[in-house]
Every structure is written in structure tokens, then in C-alpha cells.
Amino acid sequence: MAVDSALPRKHNPCSGCAQRNEDCMRARLSAVIITLNEAGNIERCLKSIDWVDEILVADTGSTDQTVDVCKQLGARVIETDWLGFGPTKRWA
């Protein structure tokens, strides 16, 4: 048995080391959703991705309850102007 493996180790996942363990090597996954007046659909959408680490909603000026529903479900909402689909998608 090598001495290395016999010694207890303390590992700080933020230390930047290359030790392979689940805490250190697990990638975080975020989902970004662009919305505009989607109160009737957004709950089902967000619940279908509730397994991701973070949900960001880029709301482009909803006048219904979209923002409130998103916040109630734990999503982080960022309000932005509608720049067209391509530019808004690149911004998000």
C-alpha cells in the first residue's frame, strides 16, 4: 500500500486541486429561459427542469403573472428589453 493512500486527506473542493471526487468534479448546469407573457405555460416548463442547479429567466416585458410565477418556483428572473429573438438569445 502506498503511503499516499494510507494517509487521511482533507479536501477543500474550492482549492483548485485535481483530485477527482464527486464534489470537486461535478459540473454545474444552468438553464436559461426567455419569456414574454408565458404565465399559462411557465410553471410546467420550469417544473420539467427542476433538476438543474440554477434556472434563470430572461423576461422581456411580461404584463401577466410570468415573473411572479417564476420567482415563486425559485427561478432567478432578469428583466430585459426584447431585442429580437437572436439578440435576446445571445444576451441570455
- At 74-91, the pLDDT tens digits run 999 999 999 998 998 898
Distance CA 25, CA 33 (A): 26
Query: At 62, is the pLDDT very low, low, confident or very high (cuts 50, 70, 90)?
Result: very high
Indicate the pTM of the whole model.
0.70
- At 4-36, the pLDDT tens digits run 333 343 444 455 555 566 666 789 999 999 999
